[in-house]
Structure 1
Amino acid sequence: MAFLRDVSDRFWNYVSPRKTQQRREKPFKVPPLPTHARREKSLARDMTPESRVRVWDVTTPSPGASVDGAQLPPSPPQSLERPYTDFEGDTIVDDIVEAINPEDEENWDANEDTIVVDESRYVDEQKHIDEEAERARLEAQGKNLRNAGWTEDSVFLFQKLGMRGREPLMPRSWVDDFPALPADLFTTKLDKAYIKPALDSDRSDFHAQKALEELFQLGPRARDAVLTKAPIRTPAYHIRMSIKKYNKWAMKDAGIEPVWRDISLFEVIIGSTETSSNDLQQKMLLKLGRLADLWSEAFALAREVRAGEDDTLPSLPTLYGVIASHTIMAFVSYDPSAETPTLRTVAIFDFGQEGYDVWNTFAVAIFIIHCRNRMMELDLLPEVQPQSESDPDL
């Protein structure tokens, strides 16, 4: 019992009102409030651009970020660096012309005849063109080219490229889809329009416009590759990919992609700014020589198939090459029927110049359309075409 009484006393001493009153009589200490830096609030918030910029928290990305700048959307060029200009002032353009064309032959460039002005002056330039004088100029020019050994096909391409800005190129129905282009580049006469689908249908028109619209991005992409110093997607890379993509549309549009899948009328090579023009020339001669062998084999097989028939095969077609180095693109011709086939410069273009984007794009489109039309004219049986072997080193 004594044990229970002791436990009871200790319990009541713990919870007794007397102990609670003693605790209440102790002074209560309020804990100090945390101190914070007080921010003065302005009654009127300043919304000027200068004040908003001052409160921006801008983070600069690290230089080693794994982002290929060439994949960014095309942006207007700023001060474009010309890394392909050497200390003596010579450019890739001069090197290509000197390396490719024969020494005893005059240098020709269809791009020199192109009218390149802004839209406001373009209409005035068109009004001052004398059709009779222009026709006489083309006849004299064609005569000089033929006397120099040019084929009829290459003369036509040369003059067609030089007529950019002097004649309509697209159907009138496209004018609303390309509002930034001069109206005189469109015509209601469909037979006068050169850049158009091979088949006359709304679906073909849509794909033709989309292909041309995509091709117009080549210039900005090439210049962006220069500004961002893209290591892989260089300007020459974009030139090659754009040409191949537009050619794929052209062949598919004409319905001859399955027929001419393994053989073409042109080859494309690219090189860096360190690649010499002589190396580019030799590389192109090698590729076009192999392409000419494929065409010779195809014609030989076609003659065997058509033995005894009255119709005759056309002559070997003129072949072409596209050489791209940095922002420079050159069209060259190659006559496989000549005793000593050589390269001749048809035209040279620079995608580094902002004001020439439209005309350079038209040059690529004219070149591809010309090759497509020529392929449609060739009358060879699909089953006699040889299989080309791709060379990874070229």
Structure 2
Amino acid sequence: MAFLRDLSERVWSYVSPRKTQQRREKPFKVPAIPIKAKPAKDVAMTPQTKIGHWQTKTPGSIGSVDNTLLPPTPPTSAQPHDDLEGDTLIHDSVEEAPKESSDESGWDANEETLVVDDGEFMEQQKSIDREKERVRQEIQGRELREAGWPEDAVFLFQKLGLRGFEPLLPDDWVNDFPSLPVDLFTHNENKAFIKAKAGGDYRAQRALEDLFNLGPYARDAVLTNAPIRTPEYHIGRSVKKYKQWAMKDADLAHIWKNLSLYETVTCDKYTPSYVAEQKMVSKLAKLQDKWNDAFETYEQENINAPNYVPAPEWVPTLYGVIASHTVMALVSYIAPTEVNGQGALRMIAMFDFSQEGYDVWNSLAISIFLIHVRNRMKDLKEFLPEPVIVRSGDPDL
């Protein structure tokens, strides 16, 4: 009972008028008057001024956020980054190339092509002399053949050099790529080099659109100092992803899995160029052996067939994609002329994805290369053995 009495007194003490009166007798404090914010000075904010005030937040610790998840191209990426530290991507050949290719060091498909900043393209188009360009292409092709280039590599070299001089895309795509110059589209389906074979336009457009994002991703990897998704990682990944679409579109994915026309080597900017070149030469030498074996197998299996067509006498031109930091090089393989000799690499073109304003042209170069490879594989498909498909399942069924 004593417990209940004490509890009753505490409750009554809390709600009694006496307590309320005591609270009222406390001195009344006037709340502080809020300080008015001073108006900012009237400053004209031009676009340049606004960009100057943008700040990119830096994480508090290294492990607090994954830098690779930051949005592409933050405002501070407005300037190109030339931090290759003077190291050339392709060193002199691992082994001296044959004499006929000794004067090729100056060839680069990017030197003569109309690759300008996107905003200057239309002005440059007005000053093009088409007839002069046609004559230049004929002279260039003759010089390349005299230097020992195979016809396949000459075609690719000149196709890369014609970016900006000729249409590449079907006219049906013009509304899907409104930022591209209209001169890149054509009504003539035969002149559209970049197009779908059988997989439909949607997948082809999506693959090309993803390829256009390569430049921003590579530059953002530099800005964020990405430890895993480095610039060379993005280059290799984009090339592989576009290749997967191209081969699937032409129904060649099952063949390409066992036999391809190019190899890829990626390395950071601190890797010496000759290391990447040696690795590429080794890969392409093994790939050439695979092609020789494939042609020999075809000859053995089809030489007595009624509609026998002999396999090509020579292995097709094999290519290499070397990505070092933000730079990508397209090279072709020079097979050794001696029995135990070592092959070499021939430069076709080099592209720097650190330069803003050239993303479309660099991405179109990758697309042209892979479409060219797809078309060559299509031509050679009849001479390649069909891979054996092993279906796994319950052996008792």
Rate the CA distance shift 1:37–1:319 in 2: closer, same or farther, 3 A: farther
Give yes or no for contact 2:109–2:161 (8 Å, CA) kept in 1: yes
Give yes or no for contact 2:297–2:385 (8 Å, CA) kept in 1: no
Task: Give the letter for the 1:364 counterpart.
Answer: I
Tell me, in whole angstroms, the C-alpha distance in 1 between the residues paired with 2:297 and 2:35: 89
The structure 2 residue matched to 1:377, chosen from 369, 376, 379, is 379
The structure 2 residue matched to 1:64, chosen from 62, 85, 104, is 62
Aligned to 2:348: 346
**Is 1:196 aligned to residue 195 of structure 2?**
yes
Give yes or no for contact 1:195–1:369 (8 Å, CA) kept in 2: yes
Tell me, in whole angstroms, the C-alpha distance in 2 between the residues paired with 1:40 and 1:277: 66
**Is 1:260 aligned to residue 256 of structure 2?**
yes
- Deviation (angstroms), 1:34: 8.4
After superposition, residues 354-393 of structure 1 pair within 5 angstroms as 354-380=356-382, 383=385
Task: Give the letter for the 2:289 counterpart.
Answer: D
SS in 1 for 2:206: helix
Task: Give the letter for the 1:278 counterpart.
Answer: Y
Rate the CA distance shift 1:194–1:59 in 2: closer, same or farther, 3 A: closer
- Deviation (angstroms), 1:204: 1.0
After superposition, residues 1-394 of structure 1 pair within 5 angstroms as 29-30=22-23, 32=26, 38-40=32-34, 61-75=59-73, 77-85=77-85, 90-93=86-89, 96=90, 98-99=92-93, 102=97, 104-107=102-105, 108-119=107-118, 121-199=120-198, 204-309=200-305, 310-314=308-312, 315-336=314-335, 339=338, 341-380=343-382, 383=385
Aligned to 1:11: none
**TM-score where L is the length of structure 1:** 0.79
Rate the CA distance shift 1:60–1:362 in 2: closer, same or farther, 3 A: closer
Give yes or no for contact 1:298–1:385 (8 Å, CA) kept in 2: no
Task: Give the letter for the 2:156 counterpart.
Answer: L
Task: Give the letter for the 2:229 counterpart.
Answer: R
- Deviation (angstroms), 1:338: 5.0
Give yes or no for contact 2:91–2:277 (8 Å, CA) kept in 1: no
Percent of aligned positions that are identical: 47
Aligned to 1:3: none
SS in 2 for 1:269: strand
Task: Give the letter for the 2:350 counterpart.
Answer: I
- Deviation (angstroms), 1:164: 0.5
Give yes or no for contact 1:97–1:345 (8 Å, CA) kept in 2: no
SS in 1 for 2:254: coil
**TM-score where L is the length of structure 2:** 0.79
Q: Which moved more, 1:73-82 or 1:97-106?
A: 97-106
Task: Give the letter for the 2:327 counterpart.
Answer: I
Find runs of 4+ consecutive structure 1 residues off by over 6 angstroms. Answer: 44-50
Tell me, in whole angstroms, the C-alpha distance in 2 between the residues paired with 1:154 and 1:386: 31
**Which structure: larger Rg?**
1
Name the Cα RMSD after superposition: 3.0
Task: Give the letter for the 2:205 counterpart.
Answer: Q
SS in 1 for 2:188: coil
Cα displacement string for residues 283-313 of structure 1 (whole angstroms, at most 9, x for unaligned residues): 0001111111111111111111112244111
Rate the CA distance shift 1:34–1:383 in 2: closer, same or farther, 3 A: farther
Tell me, in whole angstroms, the C-alpha distance in 1 between the residues paired with 2:70 and 2:29: 48
Q: Which moved more, 1:125-134 or 1:230-239?
A: 125-134
Task: Give the letter for the 1:257 counterpart.
Answer: A
- Deviation (angstroms), 1:371: 0.4
- Deviation (angstroms), 1:131: 2.7
